[in-house]
Chains A and B, each alone.
Chain A
Amino acid sequence: MTPRRRDPLPGFGLSLGVTLLWLLGLVLIPLLALLLRPLELGPAGFWHSVTEPRVLAALRLSFLGALAAAAATVPPGLLVAWVLVRYRFPGRRLLDGMVDLPFALPTAVAGLALTALYAPNGWLGAPLAALGLKVAYTPLGVVLAMAFVGLPFIVRTVEPVLRDLPREAEEAAATLGASRAQTLWRVVLPALAPALLAGFAMAAARAIGEYGSVIFIAGNMPMVSEIAPLLIVVRLEQFDYAGAAAVGVAMLALSFLLLLALNLVQRLWRRA
């Protein structure tokens, strides 16, 4: 525990004590309660509980939807970050402030607004419906809401890296006769790749568990547009606490695996 013998900087014990207490009381003990609850089902019961077709469908939608949403926000996120860092234009500060909107906007408000907008009689829903594209009350609506909450993560992780990117490399590439497109593709994009991946991971992690903004627009059809967090609520309504906790544990485990996998990819990348 002792950081160094006679550390000149005071406060280690105090700050670590406060941190551990804060962490233990507010996060670890509650999560322990979650992890232990499904034990009463037994291993077979737990497995049965999380492999029910409806649960599998909900988990699939939450995870594939989150991945799709995070992937879909990468190009626009990259574009916005690029424009904000590299160009100077009137209204840049305003644009910059707008990016954080999904962070600050309450999720229920976002859900309500997106539903009003994309419902078949909404501002955007009506023209899209005329084109034969249904957004609200379909899995597409779920992905849309997830993309909404995920966009700032991409922009905000790419921005600082892009800002610190030395221009020399680009200049060198240009001097060596590379076209601008080649430079971007061969020099800039690889340098941004780890940040993009990190942003992708954070956007996906947030979207997997997202509830408030998705619930209004999803339509909540079992097997089709029902997300995993809703299933937890549904199971609670059926007095099935252990089953609800089981879905929660399954979501935690899958998120953890996802983040672990993305971390591994990032590490391999760095080594290459």
Chain B
Amino acid sequence: MTLPALPRRLLLGTALGASLGASLGAAAPHAARAQGAAQLLNVSYDPTREFYRAFNAAFAGQWKARTGQTVRANASHGGSGRQARAVIDGLQADVVTLALAYDIDAIAERGLIAPDWQKRLPYNSAPYTSTIVFLVRKGNPKALRDWGDLARPGVSVITPNPKTSGGARWNYLAGWAWALRQPGGERAAQDYLATLFRNVPVLDTGARGSTTSFVQRGQGDVLLAWENEAYLALAEFGTDKFDIVHPSLSILAEPPVAVVDRNVDRRGTRALAEAYLQALYAPEGQALAARHHYRPRDEAALAAAGDRFPRLELVTIDDPALGGWRRAQATHFNDGGLFDRIYQPGQ
């Protein structure tokens, strides 16, 4: 009597558990997409939070006026590398707006985006640019004017980790580009970066973490930051606390954007996603970018911004000295690359 009862009950228990699991699986997707409006997900990087919050609202208005359809544009922010990873892992992004082309290339390599993505939109698919500047304490007490000053003894420099942060890679490469133009060539440039990174007391994983360390926690004498991030810090924490220093030479940071082909084709959102990116290039989008301290491509918007974006010498990532993202990544940031060799904390 009891012998057959055991397997039967075991079966019953298993079935009970399985049905529970199934109901769980069935219930969840409903919760995720409850609204009837069209949804668009923009997966972006850290310092664009404020800009895309404003842009998403503006775009929703435009789209409604043009097509009559209500659209809810969502944004996800984080370190650029982490965000690219999430998209590769299946985060259903319609568009990606990341810190560097390398991260979008990584998504393209997995077949989610067409390989020629960077040619599909004007200006290398980067609707706005930025550069790397120094944010210093008010009055610039350590007299930090150019890259050379950052390697002086007793100067404390805050920058995120180039291994994980897109912004930090721009920081690093801007310093490298400057150093290569100094006497001594590549050898001296390596020594310069090694000395510079010995002055770094905290290496956060993302640009926002570094800004918080510098601004909120009072760490360091100078923060290497995106120009837009530096202006935002001034706006948030008061111009009486910090100054922005533009060095003699910096890098032209081009944060690119792309439609995630595989996702939009499956979700049927291609028209919406393409219109979204086009709107970034339109006058309204350009003005909004300028208002959030990104350098607009549009000459009119740039002129309207006045002297907030001083002209300085900017090298690009495709400069022969840097050789494009692929080479820069391999030489400097991959495991065993130059950064690993020069950065030896605790020794």
Contacts and interface: CB of A to CB of B under 8 A. Distances in A.
Interface stretch (B13-21, B147-155, B175-183, B250-258): B13-21
A238 B163 contact: yes
A234 interface: yes
Contact of B217 (A1, A119, A237, A238): A119
B164 A237 contact: yes
A113 interface: no
A191 interface: no
Interface residues of A, number: 37
A16 B10 contact: yes
A14 B9 CA distance: 5
B16 to A, nearest CB: 6
Contacts of A21: 13-14, 17-18
A136 B13 CA distance: 50
Contacts of B7: 13
A234 B346 contact: no
Interface in B8-39: 8-14, 16-18, 21
B271 interface: no
B56 interface: no
A198 interface: no
Interface residues of B, number: 42
Contacts of A238: 81, 163-164
B94 to A, nearest CB: 21
A95 B3 CA distance: 53
Contacts of B203: 219-222
A35 interface: no
B163 A234 contact: yes
Interface string A59-86: 0000000000000000000000000000
A103 interface: no
Interface string A35-60: 00000000000000000100001000
A223 B217 contact: no
A87 interface: no
A7 B204 CA distance: 60
B343 A222 contact: yes
B218 interface: yes
Contacts of B79: 237
Contact of B345 (A11, A13, A119, A224): A224
Lowest 7 CB-CB distances: which A-B pairs, in order?
Answer: A17-B13, A13-B9, A21-B17, A237-B81, A17-B10, A18-B13, A14-B13
